[in-house]
Amino acid sequence: MSVNTDLALWLLLKGTDKDLGADTVASVVITGICVVFIGLIILILCVNLYGAIFGAINRRKAEKAKAEAEAAAKQTEQFSPKPPPQPEPVVEDGIEEEVVAVIAAAIAAMGASSGKRLALRSIRTAKGSRSAWASAGIAENTRPF
Amino acid sequence: MGIINSFLETMADLAAESGFAGFIQDGGWKNIIMILISFLFMYLAIAKGFEPLLLLPISFGMLLTNLPFAEMYHPEYWEYIEGVAERGGGTNDHYIDYGRILQHGGLLDILYMGVKLQIYPPLIFLGIGAMTDFGPLIANPKSFLLGAAAQGGIFFTFIGAAVLGMTAAECGSIAIIGGADGPTAIYVSSKLLSKTDSIGVGTIALAAYTYMALVPIIQPPIMRFLTTKKERSVVMGQLRQVSKIEKLIFPILVTVIISLMVPSAAPLVGMLMFGNLLKESGCCDRIAKTAQNELMNIITIFLGTSVGATTRADKILTLSFGKVILLGVIAFSIGTACGVLLGKLMYLVSGKTINPLIGSAGVSAVPMAARVSQKVGQEEVPTNYLLMHAMGPNVAGVIGSAVAAGVLLSIVQV
């Protein structure tokens, strides 16, 4: 079975044997430490190896994506006129700047993930809507379903 | 008159059969001491927070087993029967009559079968695997070396136990305490120890869990003693991001390599890595959560109470128990020192970019040992975050101690 089988047979260690000899103890210690180190060093090599392989694959993918993005950007620059300046969104009184910033960021993130260009036109308080806390509570309670 | 006599006789019989009478009988005082010790461990678990999830079940098992006439655990049933003919030929010198245990055993005898048949520790490892993130280790595979070095405590303690005149099985069981891993210690000792040995599995488990709880007290002085202020002040950079595919391959790879190298480590490493694969796959959330929570909790209850049951007075109130306590703390200290010393070597080789404090986390008490590295590091540089760097050696230590357990089991054969 393991690398230690022969050694174990040679040592003939039994659970009830008294007086372990110095040689026996030294063998156990040296074998033990060596096997643990060898095992874990093999793991280091393997992890490094596949880390390098996947690192290279990811790098190649990233480079390819970057090159494609650059090419696409060049094309759009060449063929499409500059977009007209966007009008400022109309913000209702009483809505704080931070809230506007958060909404704008959320819309930008949504646009980036779906690949669409979204614009923020106006922000106003919805009538008869739940408070943010109430909505969060409902979302939390219904999430498992 | 007759009624009164029979009443008195019945009362006398009841008194003679009660547990109180058991305390007065030959050696009954030892049970009283053991019950008091169980109270001490309950106090440590509840009031001091010493690994309460394990020490409390263990100490309660200890209380139950030492109540006279409760008959919940029978050490004599677990004695090896020698010279039993095997079906395939040859004789078995380590035969346990499980039929007798099933027919006549108490509750704790039945639960202890899971320990003796090596079922609980691998299942606990399944839960640990489902909770562990091997990302820091994959990002910095050199951490494996620190996890291996800290196992030095196991093998050097083997020498110490042999010098004190213990048997091979006892040496292996005490030495594994240095792995700072409770389930591994129980796994090895339950396989090696028999009733003829002067210590029991419960003794080993008690020492292992007590010292694991004491990691924040035992380790820092050794870490400070072995490192300079300059070494402790090394600020380590951020770890690289690990991709999902790397995290998925890791458990499969470790299982295959370690199980082929040290087959006797396969149950522990295999289940640890299976748990991790469940977590990382992302498609088995229900099973992964069960392994992390419900299964782990159920097994902890079974393991704790049944291991506690093996701490009968005749096993604890011996000189050997003192040796276990002494050698256990030596094993922990040497393990910590080996990790820190290899950390120092890596500090020099790496051009002073590795903080040697993360070496002490190679003993596998997860995540306590990594937290200790973080704390000692922050004493020098308050903005230094070593925690994730220390988690690498810490989880490598779990794999390392499982390998060391496999090695011990294959060398010290019973």
Nearest CA-CA distance, residue B294 and chain A, Å:
18
A6 and A72 housed in the same domain: yes
Tell me the average pLDDT across A20-42. 88
Q: Is residue B372 within a helix (H) or strand (E), and if so which, with residue range?
A: helix B368-380
Q: How far apart are CA B283 and CA A29, in angstroms?
A: 42
Strand residues in A9-143 grouped as ranges (E): 90-91, 122-123
Instruction: Choose among B253, B236, B277: nearest CA to B143.
Output: B236
- Residue A6 — pLDDT band, cuts 50, 70, 90? very low
- Number of folded domains that form chain B: 1
* pLDDT at residue A130, as a whole number: 66
The answer to whether B193 and B205 are in contact (CB under 8 A) is no
Residues B348-375 have pLDDT tens digits of: 999 889 999 999 999 988 888 999 999 9
Any domain includes B159: yes
- Number of folded domains that form chain A: 2
DSSP summary character for residue B293: I
Long-range contacts of B90-97 (CB under 8 A, 24+ apart): B94/A15, B94/B194, B94/B414
* pLDDT at residue B200, as a whole number: 84
Residues B150-166 have pLDDT tens digits of: 999 999 899 989 988 88
Q: Is the pLDDT of residue B54 over 80?
A: yes
Any domain includes B351: yes
* pLDDT at residue A10, as a whole number: 40
A32 and A97 housed in the same domain: no
A94 and A62 housed in the same domain: no
Q: Is the pLDDT of residue A69 over 70?
A: yes
Inter-chain contact B413–A1, Cβ cutoff 8 Å? no
**Under 8 Å CB-to-CB from B204, ≥6 apart: which residues?**
B173, B174, B176, B177, B185, B186, B189, B193, B324
- B145 shares contact with chain A (CB less than 8 Å): yes
Tell me the average pLDDT across B106-114. 93
Any domain includes B4: no
Tell me the average pLDDT across A30-54. 91
A7 and A56 housed in the same domain: yes
Q: Is the pLDDT of residue B243 over 70?
A: yes
DSSP summary character for residue B166: -
Any domain includes B377: yes
Residues B63-86 have pLDDT tens digits of: 999 988 888 998 888 888 888 888
Tell me the average pLDDT across B113-118. 90
Q: How far apart are CA A107 and CA B125, in angstroms?
A: 44
Inter-chain contact A36–B408, Cβ cutoff 8 Å? no
Any domain includes B58: no
Residues B379-396 have pLDDT tens digits of: 998 888 899 899 999 999
Any domain includes B147: yes
* pLDDT at residue B364, as a whole number: 83
A20 and A51 housed in the same domain: yes
For A9, nearest residue in chain B (alpha carbons): B411
Q: Is the pLDDT of residue B134 over 80?
A: yes
A66 and A100 housed in the same domain: no
Q: How far apart are CA B28 and CA A96, in angstroms?
A: 77
Any domain includes B308: yes
Q: Is the pLDDT of residue B316 over 80?
A: no
Q: Where are the alpha helices (DSSP H) in B18-51?
A: 19-24, 28-46
Average pLDDT of every residue of chain A: 76
Nearest CA-CA distance, residue A65 and chain B, Å:
17
* pLDDT at residue B83, as a whole number: 82
Whether omega for the bond prior to residue B221 falls within 30 degrees of 0, making it cis, is: no
Q: Is the pLDDT of residue A43 over 90?
A: yes
Q: How far apart are CA B11 and CA A115, in angstroms?
A: 87
Query: Percent helix, strand, coil in chain B (nearest 5)?
Result: 75, 0, 25
Domain boundary among A81, A111, A131: A81
Helix, strand or coil, per DSSP, at residue A122: strand
Strands B84-85 and A90-91: unpaired
Tell me, what's the ipTM? 0.85
Inter-chain contact A25–B162, Cβ cutoff 8 Å? yes
- Residue B141 — pLDDT band, cuts 50, 70, 90? very high
Residues B38-48 have pLDDT tens digits of: 999 999 999 98
| Higher-confidence position of A19 and B216 | B216
Range(s) of the domain holding residue B306 = 115-411
In chain B, the percentage of residues whose pLDDT exceeds 90 is 52
| Higher-confidence position of B292 and B239 | B292
A16 and A51 housed in the same domain: yes
Phi, psi dihedral angles at B354 (to 5 degrees): -105, 130
* pLDDT at residue A1, as a whole number: 40
Q: Is the pLDDT of residue B18 over 60?
A: yes
The answer to whether B412 and A14 are in contact (CB under 8 A) is no
Domain boundary among A81, A107, A124: A81
Inter-chain contact A15–B147, Cβ cutoff 8 Å? no
**A66, burial (CB in 10 Å: exposed 0-12, middle 13-18, buried 19+):** exposed
The answer to whether A92 and A125 are in contact (CB under 8 A) is yes
Instruction: Choose among B397, B284, B98, B410: nearest CA to A1.
Output: B410
Determine the residue among A11, A13, A25, A36 to mutate to test chain B binding: the one whose Cβ has the most chain B Cβ atoms within 10 Å. A36
Instruction: Choose among B45, B122, B77: nearest CA to B291.
Output: B122
Q: How far apart are CA B135 and CA B392, in angstroms?
A: 8
The four Cα atoms B86, B91, B92, B98 give a dihedral, to 10 degrees, of 40
Q: Is the pLDDT of residue B413 over 80?
A: no
Of the CA atoms within 13 Å of residue B20, those in its CB half-sphere come to: 5
Tell me the average pLDDT across A33-62. 90
Instruction: Tell me the residue type at B14.
Output: L
Largest CA distance in chain B: 96
Contacts of B412 in chain A (CB under 8 A): 8, 13, 15, 28
The length of chain A in residues reads: 145
- Residue A11 — pLDDT band, cuts 50, 70, 90? very low
Contacts of B255 in chain A (CB under 8 A): none
Straight-line distance from the first to the last Cα atom of chain A, in angstroms, rounded to the nearest whole number: 50
Range(s) of the domain holding residue A109 = 83-145
* pLDDT at residue B176, as a whole number: 92
Average pLDDT of every residue of chain B: 89
